[in-house]
Amino acid sequence: MRSSKKQSKSEFVVTVLENPYIPHDPTIKQAEFLVDLRKDGLYGGAAGGGKSDALLMAALQYVSESDYSALLLRRTYADLSLPHALMDRMDEWLRNTDAAWKDKTKTWAFPSGATISFGYLEAEKDKYRYQGAEFQFVGFDELTQFTETQFTYLFSRLRRLEGSEVPVRIRAASNPGGVGHEWVKARYITPSPEELSRDDRFFVPATLTDNPFLDQDAYTESLDYLDPVTKAQLKGGDWDIKAAGNKFREEKFKYVDQAPAGLKLIRFWDMAATEPYPGNKDPDWTVGLLMGEKAGYYYVLDVFRCRKNPKERDEMIARVLWMDGNTIQQRMEQEGGSSGKDDILSFAKTLFKGFDFRGVHPTGSKEVRANGVSGAVDNELVYLVRGQWNSAFVAECCAFPQDGVHDDQVDCFSGAYNELIKYRPRQQVMTWGGVGLSGGGFRV
């Protein structure tokens, strides 16, 4: 039985360098990842370090063995099937080889009898889909998108036949950030002394400079457009920086007395609010944020906020809609399930009747949805029309996401921005309430 925790040079040559299914030699960092035979390993950190190729190479190392089965996982099937993602890249590598693709099971079968399958764990319960299965290799792409319990459950699927020389391995690739950031960091980056003594896991950090196959200058330029937190995570592989009150920087907001004519306008609504009461003296707000775009610049013209009972709230919103006029698009975050659909339908029939009104299904966490507009602010593409709402709005943005009590305005800010970049609304009438596009609005 194999006792070494590293592949020998001759074994590395056979399983990697002479492997007919691996189309190019690994980088130095990828080789470090591949020769390590400890059970549990993570590769990556910064974007562009060759994570996907490292994971595919690791999965392919032992396909010459008949008793070898591998599983490669992403959080959703959509992530798995994206262009140049794991499944597409593996197809590029194997389509002209003697490996056979079985589309029904999303599995590559090799002449030896070995298999590599693709799967996903979108919901927590999806891990039980693999109950009873046996794998010698399980690979997680973008590990920080998974929960810790999804990850640890798959260890129960690792097993091999008595006397087999195939190592059992869990391998993962990931950048910092995401829902699983903290547990991944604790497991691999800053493990406790007790976990360090286990000596059954390892981490291979890799950055853009470790990948000679990538156009580093072009990719670096693309990463520079990200918000500061995400840029530090992806460009520098920074596991310590957190999206905790530093998505937005106050000095990056720009101000104008009046927005230009010719804007494409959307007002985005968040209706989650109640009146203050003894048990909750600081509840959420109803928010309606008016935002426009022209020539790649974005202008926040008005932020309406109130905390009233539904009757008073609707009366105040009706006045805002009268000021907006029916040429401005009205959008509202739509909660999941039938109740969210019913709420949108009810508003469409009553308060927003006669307006261009639609519900918008949110995708991703609040932080993820705010990434785009955070990047726009950081690149000084966002202007605020001066008004009495400015200070409360900027304060909430700069406290987002963990230091602030409320995020209603930020949700509308990111919602409006994401709608403006997603669609190209028809040209709007460039007056608001008959008085031009100056700041103001209602405050309660």
Shared domain for 417 and 361, answered yes or no, is yes
Shared domain for 258 and 295, answered yes or no, is yes
Shared domain for 195 and 285, answered yes or no, is no
Residue 3 included in any domain: no
Residue 372 included in any domain: yes
Shared domain for 280 and 414, answered yes or no, is yes
CATH number (domain holding residue 346): 3.30.420.240
Shared domain for 232 and 298, answered yes or no, is no
Domain count, the chain: 2
pLDDT in tens, 37-88: 999 999 987 666 789 999 999 999 999 999 999 999 999 888 888 888 899 9
Residue 285 included in any domain: yes
Q: Are 335 and 341 in contact (CB under 8 A)?
A: no
Residue 185 included in any domain: yes
Cα distance between residue 311 and residue 81, in whole Å: 47
Range of the domain at 361: 250-422
Shared domain for 418 and 272, answered yes or no, is yes
Residue 84 included in any domain: yes
Shared domain for 156 and 303, answered yes or no, is no
Q: Quick check: pTM over 0.85?
A: no
2-16, 47-61, 168-182, 191-205: which has the minimum mean pLDDT?
191-205
Shared domain for 275 and 410, answered yes or no, is yes
**Tokens 């490996």 sit on residue:** 99
Cα distance between residue 157 and residue 168, in whole Å: 10
CATH number (domain holding residue 84): 3.40.50.300
Shared domain for 262 and 209, answered yes or no, is no
β-pair type (297-306, 286-294): antiparallel
pLDDT in tens, 339-385: 788 999 999 999 999 999 999 988 888 888 999 999 999 999 999 99
Residue 443 included in any domain: no
Shared domain for 231 and 170, answered yes or no, is yes
CB burial class (10 A; 0-12, 13-18, 19+) of residue 216?
Answer: middle
Shared domain for 54 and 169, answered yes or no, is yes
* Signed CA dihedral, 28, 29, 33, 34: sign only: negative
Shared domain for 216 and 260, answered yes or no, is no
Cα distance between residue 405 and residue 392, in whole Å: 12
Residue 244 included in any domain: no
Residue 203 included in any domain: yes
Going by pLDDT thresholds of 50, 70 and 90, the confidence category of residue 200 is: confident
Phi, psi of 255 (to 5 degrees): -125, 145
Q: Are 41 and 212 in contact (CB under 8 A)?
A: no
